[in-house]
Chains A and B, each alone.
Chain A
């Protein structure tokens, strides 16, 4: 069957026999931009802008138009942009591969190289993607240990394969941003990470360069706050089906002009959608990420059952505005203030705050099999939220590996959960 949508065209091209070559050909990105401009399937301008941003950044990373470095989720990409480099998130690439139906090929390649099936499937798929030649080889690897151990360990292995330098930022979990010793410790590592980026880019990063990217990061934050403020409305003007996509920008966007443009457009998009009746019956808060392989969970939840994902944990703006005059210290404080890292009480407080702020009826925690951070605290969250009278459902599954997820079982559990919400409401 001939491809019909923009997504289908991308899928057909990349997964075909010349997919790897297409990824490294500049013409592919020119064609993608042409098709994007003609595409009519986007109901939001911001989504189109974000796709454009993804195409541009992928082109830089894959074709060498600009030197690329791999970054783990939550690594401060402001430093990368300040050095004139392109961040590439292998975790995002795993999600893309899953959505294109290619993850199983990558997972098998990783299995063959002794990556245990109990490890995070985002990282296993990334390892497989690198082995299979689908991911761009970077000039450096930059990782941070906050939230996730898997990313830095994957990067250690990948750096060994590629032969590129690696820098891992060690972030103390017990400390918060008020712990000055921890801030100094993390900031001093960021300084070294920046030195590595300068070496890779052969460019000296001036204080003005850093100020510029920090300013862009703050500008992005400003619009993110606006978006989140608008999402408090009933009915929800932006639901999970769309909102999950923007998490990509929290991984790769901070410090870029592109991310600012997307969020600015998103504010406009949401303002136009406010008060559009959509049959909202329940408002849910979604913890962690969603399954990215083709599935109907979110669609069924939001369109058929009227239970909208009014907010996602990973879209929360948890950090204070960065200080342009103290960029490294304020980036360190941002890293240390992540509510998902450190004592579980931090995450519990953040969730309760989100439940109140976004008028949430129930919380769904999607337990990605290999994720120790999110699933590790799933049951502690359950008890704490029960004490607060907040309905909570753990949905065990896998974000990348469709073979490790039973959609029917998940739907049954979701329907049971919604029945419980219905009984509470009545």
Chain B
């Protein structure tokens, strides 16, 4: 918390407003649709007249969830089931379950059996992005639309086009914020920006725009306390609670890009007009047919195809087939954001990210990028051992005045 005071301009100024905005914007509970995985096509949910909100889970009833899901299964998955047991989702329209890994598959089974929160659709996201995968992805998006229609929603060409454009505006706004993180010193605190990113995943379109405007106001920007001497890191990995970001702030580390499932990966942009985005640059060349403005889209199928293509062609997460593209992306992020190292935050028992470690470590070390793996129980608490590891990593990777990678 010391760092929150130290870098308080942004965080302390914005966070109460963020909370108020998110609180104000929550519409009728019955219009909410919960989601878990960043591959969920949120635009379809918005187009159907619902508000998607990210389920982050809660450790409050995680023990109760442990009755149904064993302790050697992803704690995030158990925390999500535990949050359902708290009754927070009572009365919502439902949730969209994505079978992204074995653990999410088990959550789907447990969710249907032990909660009374309706399942709008269970979607399988293909692990590749070729034509076969695309055909199957289309069937999954259509299945999601059918589920939303059963829940009382309607998806039209106009509503989907509006939802896609709004989504792009939000992603572009997020990219604008990230652009300032490339500066030395970084413009925002990592914890503050990540919290904003999490809030964006629970906000409606109008509130999201308002949230993105907050840090743009100069009174909340943080230019006075940062000196450029703080070590800069890329944070990658699976889901993580804000506790780890707070901890990193507290030891004086700037997370200049939070690429985890909890934040950056949900707000990725491959928009053509984001010229400065490395993700844009990488994917633009590989998939030129993606048109973020969808001009000329007159049929629903065209828009669905666009969405399916976009989700499959993003920078892949660790579950997807090509590992190389993701690893190259992390290397390019570290260079572009002048980072001194990469910290991988992996929730325990997360197979996709744990299996990635040998390859990722090897690739980063080959590039001379220091690397730290933190395995955690999702809700990260500032305990001594972890603190010592972080401090040791910072000492090892950074000296005042030392240049970035």
B72: A residues at CB distance < 8 A: 118, 369-370, 372, 375
| Given the contacts A116-B357, A168-B321, A170-B133, A375 and B127 also touching, CB distance less than 8 Å | no
Residues of B within 8 A of A378 (CB): 70
Task: Check B69–A188 contact: CB distance below 8 A.
Answer: no
Q: Give the total of A residues in contact with B, Cβ under 8 Å.
A: 45
Asked if A376 lies at the interface with its beta carbon under 8 angstroms from chain B, I say yes
The reply to whether the CB of B359 lies closer than 8 angstroms to some CB of chain A is yes
Known A173-B105, A379-B67; contact A185-B135, beta-carbon cutoff 8 A:
yes
B351 and A114: CB pair below 8 A?
no
Contacts of A153 in B (CB 8 A): 351-352, 355-356
Cβ of B70: which chain A residues have Cβ within 8 Å of it?
367, 375-376, 378-379
CB of B125, distance to nearest CB on chain A (Å): 9
A383 to B128 Cα, complex, angstroms = 36
Which residues in B have their C-beta under 8 angstroms from that of A118? 72, 348-349, 354, 375
Question: Are A342 and B68 in touch, CB under 8 angstroms?
Answer: no
Interface string of B104-118 (1 = CB under 8 A from A): 011011101100000
Q: Does B321 lie within 8 Å of A114, measured CB to CB?
A: no
* List of A residues within 8 angstroms of B349 by Cβ: 118, 372
A-B interface pairs (CB < 8 A), number: 119
Contact A342 B105 (CB under 8 A): yes
> Which residue on B lies nearest to A156, using beta carbons?
B323
Question: Is B294 interfacial (CB-CB < 8 Å)?
Answer: no
| Contact, CB under 8 Å: B112 / A343 | yes
Chain B neighbourhood of A370, CB < 8 A:
72
- Pick the residue among A149, A157, A343 that contacts B109 (CB under 8 A): A343
B136, CB-defined interface residue at 8 Å: yes
Q: Does B28 contact A (CB under 8 A)?
A: no
CB contacts under 8 Å to A, within B211-236, are none
**Shortest Cβ distance from A338 into chain B, in angstroms?**
13
Q: Is B139 in the interface zone, CB < 8 Å from A? A: yes
Asked if A172 and B375 make an inter-chain contact with CB atoms under 8 angstroms apart, the answer reads no
Contact B124 A172 (CB under 8 A): yes
CB-CB nearest in chain A for B127: A170
Q: Does B385 contact A (CB under 8 A)?
A: no
B110:A150 contact, CB within 8 angstroms:
no
A10 to B308, CA, bound (A): 53
Q: For B135, B319, B358, which residue has the most chain A Cβ atoms within 10 angstroms?
A: B358
Residue B328 interfacial (CB < 8 Å): no
- Cβ of A377 within 8 Å of any chain B Cβ, yes or no, is yes
A108 at the interface (CB under 8 A from B): no
A415 within 8 A of B: no
**Which residue from A114, A174, A376 sits with its C-beta under 8 Å from B124?**
A174
Question: Is B101's beta carbon under 8 Å from chain A?
Answer: yes
Interface string of B125-146 (1 = CB under 8 A from A): 0111000110110010000000
A154 on the B face (CB < 8 A) = yes
A377 touches B109 (CB 8 A): yes
The reply to whether the CB of A345 lies closer than 8 angstroms to some CB of chain B is yes
A334 at the interface (CB under 8 A from B): no
Given contacts A172-B136, A181-B139, are A344 and B106 in contact (CB under 8 A)?
yes
| Contact status B132-A185, CB under 8 Å | yes
* Residues in chain B near residue A373, CB distance under 8 A: 102
Contact with A along B55-91 (1 / 0, CB 8 A): 0000000000001111011100000000000000000
> Is A350 an interface residue, CB under 8 A from the partner?
no
Q: Whole-angstrom distance between the alpha carbons of A370 and B351 in the complex?
A: 9
Which of B105, B136, B375 meets A185, CB within 8 Å? Answer: B136
Q: Give Cα distance in the complex from A308 to B122, angstroms.
A: 40
**Which residues of A in the span 76-122 have a Cβ within 8 Å of any Cβ on B?**
113-116, 118-119
Minimum CB–CB distance from B373 to chain A (whole Å) comes to 7
Cβ–Cβ < 8 Å partners of A377 in chain B: 106, 109
Chain B CB within 8 A of A211 CB: no
Complex Cα distance, B121 from A174, in Å, reads: 10
A160 & B359 in contact (Cβ 8 Å cutoff): yes
Q: Which residue of A lies closest to B100 (CB)?
A: A149
Evaluate contact between B73 and A372: CB separation under 8 angstroms.
yes
Q: Indicate if A145 sits at the interface (CB-CB under 8 A).
A: yes
The reply to whether the CB of A182 lies closer than 8 angstroms to some CB of chain B is yes
* A164 contacts B by Cβ under 8 Å: no
Bound complex: CA A16 to CA B275 (Å):
60
| Interchain CB contact (< 8 A) of B361 among A114, A173, A185, A379 | A114
Question: A113 to B375, Cβ gap below 8 A?
Answer: no
Which residues from A are CB-within-8-Å of B126?
170, 185
Contact digits for A170-189, partner B, Cβ 8 Å, 1 yes 0 no: 10111100000110110011
Chain B residues closer than 8 Å to A173, beta-carbon distance: 99, 105, 124
Indicate whether B245 reaches chain A with its CB closer than 8 angstroms.
Answer: no
| B103 close to chain A: CB less than 8 A | yes
Give A342 to B122 CA distance when docked, in angstroms.
Answer: 11
Q: Is A148 an interface residue (CB 8 A)?
A: yes
Contact A150 B355 (CB under 8 A): yes
Chain B residues with CB under 8 Å of A343's CB are 108-109, 112
Query: What chain B residues lie within 8 Å of A185 (beta carbons)?
Result: 126, 132-133, 135-136
Q: Which residue of A is nearest B128, CB measured? A: A170
CB distance from B319 to the nearest CB of A (A): 8
| Inter-subunit contact A145/B136 (CB<8 Å) | no
Are B69 and A154 touching (Cβ within 8 A)? no
A380 CB–B CB distance under 8 Å: yes
Name B73's closest neighbour in chain A (CB-CB).
A376
Say how far B391's CB is from chain A's closest CB, in angstroms: 22
**How far in angstroms is the closest Cβ of chain A from B261?**
16
Interface string of A54-95 (1 = CB under 8 A from B): 000000000000000000000000000000000000000000
A147 nearest CB neighbor, chain B only: B102
Within the complex, the shortest CB–CB distance from A242 to chain B, in Å, comes to 30
Q: How far is the CB of A425 from chain B (nearest CB, A)?
A: 29
Report the minimal beta-carbon distance from B376 to chain A, rounded to whole angstroms.
12
The CA-CA distance from A175 to B122 in the complex, in Å, is 10
The distance from the CB of A160 to the nearest CB of chain B, in whole angstroms, is 6
Against B, the Cβ 8 Å flags (1 = close, 0 = not) of A369-406 are: 11011011111100100000000000000000000000
Provide 13 A-B residue pairs closer than 8 Å at the C-beta atoms, listed in order of the A residue: A145-B127, A150-B351, A153-B352, A154-B355, A160-B359, A170-B128, A181-B136, A184-B135, A185-B135, A188-B132, A373-B102, A376-B106, A377-B106
Instruction: List the 3 closest pairs (A to B, CB-CB), nearest first.
Output: A153-B355, A372-B102, A344-B109
